[in-house]
């Protein structure tokens, strides 16, 4: 079937990122909400004559932008935009436990990452705010003190009645499968080859054809955000990129329309 000369496009692309150094595929995004290309250039004009009208135009400063909007957040892509690697290992996270006292003690939900004093321990007021702080005692318990053995906090006898609430802040360890994403002051987003696979529809036959856009050098922008809100649609992740000229050529991007049923 002859590939179309006129076509329409609607479906969002599938985006695949490749490492510029190794050529290896890094990640594919197949849950995009939008994908778009923008092309621009600067034009200066020679003017003259009565009315100082434009006579000749000289174009330069070719630029291109690609913006992907993902319905999901992908750890690998976020890491690529930070310039840091993903840290897949056990990490220490902060934990807040509200505990009820029973028989002069209370048990934490998790094991603290550090022996000794917790970050903070407070008696809890009836409105949920912090009351009197309880401080750590390394040996004998006195008024206003607590000791810690494994996950169990022990309090001065009779100081806290059964059912009284305390709040404890501490750190605990995750398992080894956790992913840590880091934004640091000395690392920035990288450049990658980006391939966008699309569908186009022939205006004459109304048949669908495959189209592949290859962006040889796309620099991820460093300005991006993660929105969080209590209402509305789920947050989306915008991935803005600048299209750069490859060092060994002039093709900033190409688009090939083809019949995938006739692939070799």
Which among 28, 38, 39, 37 has a CA at the least distance from the CA of 70? 28
Residues 6+ apart with CB under 8 A from 129: none
3-state secondary structure of 202: strand
CB 238, CB 222: distance < 8 Å:
no
Positive or negative, the CA dihedral 215, 219, 220, 221 is: negative
pLDDT in tens, 114-144: 999 999 999 999 999 999 999 999 888 999 9
pLDDT in tens, 139-197: 889 999 999 999 999 999 999 999 999 999 999 999 999 999 999 999 999 999 999 99
* Residue 179: count of CB within 10 angstroms of its CB: 14
Q: In CATH, which of 2.40.360, 2.30.110, 2.115.10, 2.40.10 is domain 7-86+181-262?
A: 2.30.110
pLDDT in tens, 44-69: 999 999 999 999 999 999 999 999 99
């Amino acid at each position: 079937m002859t590939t179309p000369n006129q076509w329409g496009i609607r479906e969002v692309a599938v985006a695949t990122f490749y490492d510029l150094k190794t050529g290896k595929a890094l990640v594919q995004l197949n849950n995009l909400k939008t994908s778009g290309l923008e092309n621009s250039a600067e034009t200066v004009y020679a003017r003259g004559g009565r009315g100082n009208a434009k006579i000749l135009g000289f174009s330069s400063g070719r630029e291109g932008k690609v913006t992907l909007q993902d319905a999901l957040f992908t750890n690998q892509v976020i890491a690529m935009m930070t310039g840091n690697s993903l840290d897949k290992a056990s990490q220490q996270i902060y934990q807040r436990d509200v505990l009820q006292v029973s028989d002069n003690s209370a048990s934490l939900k998790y094991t603290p990452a550090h022996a000794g004093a917790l970050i903070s321990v407070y008696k809890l007021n009836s409105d949920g705010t912090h009351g009197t702080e309880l401080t750590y005692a390394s040996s004998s318990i006195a008024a206003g003190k607590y000791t810690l053995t494994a996950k169990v906090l022990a309090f001065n006898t009779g100081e806290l009645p059964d059912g009284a609430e305390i709040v404890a802040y501490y750190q605990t360890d995750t398992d080894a499968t956790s992913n840590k994403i880091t934004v640091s002051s000395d690392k920035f987003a990288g450049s990658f080859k980006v391939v966008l696979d699309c569908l186009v529809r022939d205006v004459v036959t109304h048949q669908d054809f495959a189209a592949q856009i290859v962006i040889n050098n796309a620099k991820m922008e460093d300005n991006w955000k993660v929105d969080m809100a209590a209402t509305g649609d789920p947050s989306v992740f915008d991935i803005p990129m600048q299209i750069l000229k490859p060092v060994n050529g002039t093709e900033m991007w190409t688009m090939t329309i083809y019949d995938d049923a006739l692939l070799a």
